[in-house]
Amino acid sequence: MVDGTQIPTATTQDERTIALLAHMLQIVLWWIAPLIILVIKRNSRFISFHALQALLLQGVYLLVLLAGLTLGFGALAFAALMSPPAQHATHPEFVFFMPILVVAWMSMGLLVLLAGIIYGVKAGRGEWAEYPVLGRWCLRLLKLGPGGIPR
């Protein structure tokens, strides 16, 4: 304790490297790599925190992607059912909604890519960097305070 505040938990180089891998490998292996790292290195608070953040980010990404696809294709199906049948013509709804779906999907992928890189670098430096919202959830799930201090 220094001046009434607790010092964040120190990390080893191996912990920093594995936490970096949890963030970076989610870019390629989606939720599988963070889950494996979380299960294998459960005894390290630092690795568990970063792997759980990456895993939750992938879960949110999957849910948003599925919700967007469901809403998008549902809207397309509804619009196609409500419009009069045309022979071999492309529905204007399809032309309008598909680019929106593709841009939204690519934007989410870019967001996950940037988060993986930025927070991977921070984990590699040994920082207890938190994703917005998800970081606080991870700390609560792991029963940790700021800096990895057990509650």
Q: What is the pLDDT of residues 78-113, one digit of tens each?
A: 877 777 766 656 667 677 777 888 898 899 999 999
Going 63 to 66 to 72 to 74, the CA torsion angle's sign is negative
For 7, how many CA atoms within 13 A lie in the half-sphere containing its CB? 5
**What is the model's pLDDT at position 71?**
85
- Averaged pLDDT for residues 59-88: 81
Q: pTM score, two decimals?
A: 0.85
Helix (H) or strand (E) holding 32: helix 32-40
Mean per-residue pLDDT over the chain, rounded: 88
Tokens 């598909």 locate to 98
DSSP-derived 3-state class of residue 142: coil
CB 68 within 8 A of CB 101: yes
- Kindly tell me if the per-residue pLDDT of 5 is higher than 70: no
**What is the model's pLDDT at position 147?**
86
- Percent of the chain topping pLDDT 90: 64
Give me the helix-helix angle, 13-29 and 45-82, nearest 10°. Answer: 10
Going 57 to 62 to 66 to 72, the CA torsion angle's sign is positive
Measured CA to CA, the distance from residue 89 to residue 77 in angstroms comes to: 15
**What is the model's pLDDT at position 82?**
76
Tokens 């001046």 locate to 3
For 65, how many CA atoms within 13 A lie in the half-sphere containing its CB? 15
**What is the model's pLDDT at position 51?**
98
| β-bridge partners, 144 | 150
Measured CA to CA, the distance from residue 75 to residue 7 in angstroms comes to: 52
DSSP-derived 3-state class of residue 90: coil
- Percent of the chain topping pLDDT 70: 89
